[in-house]
Amino acid sequence: MTGRVEVVSNDEDARRPLLSRISPGNSNDIDLDMAANNTRPGHEKWRRVVGLLLLFTTVVLWTASNFMASTLFADNTYSKPYLVTYVNTACFLIPLFPIVVRRLYLSGSLKTPRYAPLSQEHDDDTNTQEHLDDETSQKAAPTKDAHGIIPLSLGDTARLSLEFCMLWFLANYFVAACLEHTTVASSTILTSTSSIFTLLLGCAVGVEIFTLRKLFGVLASLLGVVLISSVDLFGDNDDGRGLFPHKSARQVALGDAMALLSAVLYGVYAVLMKKRIGDERRISMPVFFGLVGLFNLLLLWPGFLILHYTGIEPFELPPSSRVTTIILVNSISSLLSDIAWAYAVLLTSPIVVTVGLSTTIPLSLIGQLLINNQTSPAIYWLGACVVVLSFVFVNHEEVQDEAAQDQRILDQASSSREPLHREEA
């Protein structure tokens, strides 16, 4: 076993879960029936519905989390994005504990040993040898589930978590740090530009099907971003800002740059997850994110020393119980939203989820109006509408591409079965 985990056999497997359930060289009726039962409008349709529901959950939780973080960072009440992100990743260990305890119990480590009298020594030796042979054969060949999918082992999941832990931390750190310098809406808008990076990188590695219509949808989304950013960067920062603290043009530019960097990292993260995993049934997300939290907890604590002694982020404990509560609630929200996001990526596709997260923009605008009494001009709302409509368009295109791809696969499998039926006749 090498250090690299090849969890997706080829680009086609990463692109569509159906492909991992049909072997090109296997043309028997069982495989075809399994494929037919798992294609749209049945199995795959429900996968997409569940994925979109999880995406909506992620949108709501991320928006709420951003507003909670903004209450701490924007007015320097507790501007510690590194510490807050570190606490967020530490909370990923919460779902890992019951899983570890359960595995220890099932393995017998937590059970009281039982003793039985020795009898029929020869038969016992034979049974023991058969049991060892069974265990050896199971370890030699990974078992498939009912859909013909090979789940990742704990070791493979751990290596995958180690590869992704830094990407996750940096993407979340920069999106938190930018809230010290810019508004939640501006941060949300700029992180939505990850759709273009997701599309380009996804097409490059084979997890997305490039079409001009998808490109049009992504460019329309970016047009909406430009419309809103023009107000943010070149308009009067004090006009309609409500309770949001005053920020200079330099501060806004720094915050927007951090949000844009987070968008790039997020696009890389989403595409690589789809590429390396392919099907959500291959991996336990609580275990995956629990190990991500464990690795970040062990590897990133020296960052506190560096940031403290350089003066970038001096280490301080939360000044009040209110701040502590906000940090903890934000951490739980981050845990739930990231697990929901990861499943949404695997149940749909990276580009659908990335563009879909752009719907956080209108929620952020409404939140700013209700929480900070911060109003936005008409061009802001126009840009938000363009972004939301682009998501609907890209999602529709993705559904059409998947339907066409699955139909081609079934047609190929059916044609390969026909000669066998003629020979049997």
pLDDT, tens only, 398-420: 777 767 776 777 777 777 665 55
Ranges 140-144, 379-383, 409-413: which has the least confidence:
140-144
Whether the pLDDT of residue 283 is over 80: the answer is yes
Runs of H (alpha helix) within 91-193 = 96-107, 121-140, 154-177, 184-191
User: Residue 320 is part of which domain span?
Assistant: 11-32+64-105+143-424
What pLDDT does 296 receive?
A: 94
Residue 133 lies in a domain: no
At 425, the pLDDT band (50, 70, 90 cuts) reads low
- Cα distance between residue 347 and residue 278, in whole Å: 9
| H or E element, residue 406 | helix 378-424
The dihedral formed by the CA atoms of 343, 344, 350 and 352, expressed in degrees to the nearest 10: 170
More confident residue, 373 or 112: 373
- Cα distance between residue 269 and residue 272, in whole Å: 5
Residue 338 lies in a domain: yes
- Cα distance between residue 340 and residue 61, in whole Å: 10
What pLDDT does 422 receive?
A: 56
Whether the pLDDT of residue 280 is over 90: the answer is no
More confident residue, 165 or 375: 165
What pLDDT does 30 receive?
A: 41
More confident residue, 355 or 37: 355
What pLDDT does 308 receive?
A: 93
Q: What is the mean predicted confidence (pLDDT) over 384-406?
A: 76
Task: Give pTM, 2 decimals.
Answer: 0.68
What pLDDT does 23 receive?
A: 38
Task: Please say whether the beta carbons of 195 and 103 come within 8 A.
Answer: no
Q: What is the mean predicted confidence (pLDDT) over 223-246?
A: 64
Domain count along the chain:
1
Residue 382 lies in a domain: yes
Whether the pLDDT of residue 301 is over 90: the answer is yes
Residue 190 lies in a domain: yes
pLDDT, tens only, 307-333: 999 998 999 988 889 889 989 998 898
The interaxial angle of helices 249-277 and 212-234, nearest 10 deg, is: 160
More confident residue, 234 or 336: 336
Residue 388 lies in a domain: yes
DSSP letter string, 256-317: HHHHHHHHHHHHHHHHHHHHHH-SGGGS-HHHHHHHHHHHHHHHSTHHHHHHHHTTSS----
Residue 200 lies in a domain: yes
Whether the pLDDT of residue 180 is over 90: the answer is no
What's the whole-number average pLDDT of the chain? 74
What pLDDT does 110 receive?
A: 57
What pLDDT does 94 receive?
A: 86
What pLDDT does 5 receive?
A: 37
Residue 48 lies in a domain: no
What pLDDT does 239 receive?
A: 54
Residue 84 lies in a domain: yes
Amino acid 251 reads Q
